[in-house]
């Protein structure tokens, strides 16, 4: 990608989607912190963030354009999780949706990560990666008050 950062506004977008299960969800830009030097984004999400309604939201980080590389590493760092009750544990569930150029259909994988953990996901393709979308959904994490997540991206050529 040259000198352009993977997390620049041209390459990566972040959305807060209200009522994601509807056919016509409300989609607006999410507030994220971008570190262009480290190719990482950080954001807060969860049900108790300041809002005017009680509707579920999903938080989506996506590479929308066709990516011109064959392998992408995504490091997911779950910095903090607070839940409505201590009985629920400090785990969150998230989804990774991606499409490879050689496949007709996109694929979706689900992961679970605990507070303080990190994992590295590898998405690779024979030709190129069509798109990558990482989704943190409040409906799948109904008891999460607040969570802070950092995503770090690395391209392997």
Domain-located, residue 3? no
What tokens appear for 139 in the block?
């409906």
Q: Does the structure show a pLDDT above 50 at 94?
A: yes
The model's pLDDT over 110-147, given as tens digits with 9 standing for 90+, comes to 999 999 999 999 999 998 888 899 999 988 887 899 99
Q: Mean pLDDT, to the nearest integer, of 59-87?
A: 87
**Structure confidence at residue 116 (pLDDT):** 95
**Structure confidence at residue 50 (pLDDT):** 60
Range of the domain at 57: 12-156
Can you tell me the distance from the alpha carbon of 104 to that of 55, in angstroms, rounded to the nearest whole number? 33
Can you tell me the distance from the alpha carbon of 94 to that of 140, in angstroms, rounded to the nearest whole number? 8
Q: Nearest to residue 64, comparing CAs of 130, 109, 110?
A: 130
Domain-located, residue 2? no
**Structure confidence at residue 19 (pLDDT):** 79
Domain-located, residue 16? yes
**Structure confidence at residue 65 (pLDDT):** 67
Domain-located, residue 36? yes
Q: Which of 12-21, 59-68, 89-98, 132-141 has the lowest mean pLDDT?
A: 59-68
| Phi–psi pair at 88, nearest 5 degrees | -90, -10
Indicate which CATH number applies to the domain containing 48: 2.60.120.1310
Domain-located, residue 65? yes
Give the whole-number percent of the chain exceeding pLDDT 70: 92
**Structure confidence at residue 98 (pLDDT):** 93
List, in order, residues 6 or more apart from 40 with CB less than 8 Å away.
Answer: 7, 34, 75, 150, 151, 152, 153
The model's pLDDT over 36-63, given as tens digits with 9 standing for 90+, comes to 999 999 999 988 776 677 778 889 999 8
Q: How many domains does the chain have?
A: 1
Domain-located, residue 1? no
Burial of residue 66 (CB within 10 Å: 0-12, 13-18, 19+) is: exposed
Task: State the average pLDDT for the chain.
Answer: 87
Domain-located, residue 6? no
Give the whole-number percent of the chain exceeding pLDDT 90: 48
DSSP string, 58-123: EEEEEE-SPPS-SEEEEEEEEEEEEESSGGG-SEEEEEEEEEETT-SS-EEEEEEEETT-EEEEEE
Domain-located, residue 139? yes
Q: pTM of whole model > 0.75?
A: yes
Can you tell me the distance from the alpha carbon of 125 to that of 82, in angstroms, rounded to the nearest whole number? 36
């Amino acid at each position: 990608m040259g000198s352009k950062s993977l997390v620049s506004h041209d390459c990566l977008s972040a959305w807060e989607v209200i009522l994601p299960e509807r056919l016509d969800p409300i989609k607006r830009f999410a507030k994220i912190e971008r570190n262009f030097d480290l190719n990482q984004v950080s954001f807060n999400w969860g049900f108790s963030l300041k809002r005017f309604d009680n509707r579920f939201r999903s938080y989506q980080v996506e590479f929308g354009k066709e990516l011109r590389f064959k392998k992408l590493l995504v490091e997911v760092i779950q910095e903090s999780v607070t839940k409505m009750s201590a009985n629920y544990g400090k785990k969150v569930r998230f989804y990774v949706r991606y499409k490879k150029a050689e496949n007709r259909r996109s694929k979706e994988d689900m992961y679970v990560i605990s507070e303080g953990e990190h994992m590295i996901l590898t998405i690779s393709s024979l030709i190129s990666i069509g798109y990558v979308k990482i989704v943190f959904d409040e409906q799948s994490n109904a008891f999460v008050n607040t969570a802070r997540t950092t995503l770090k991206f690395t391209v392997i050529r």
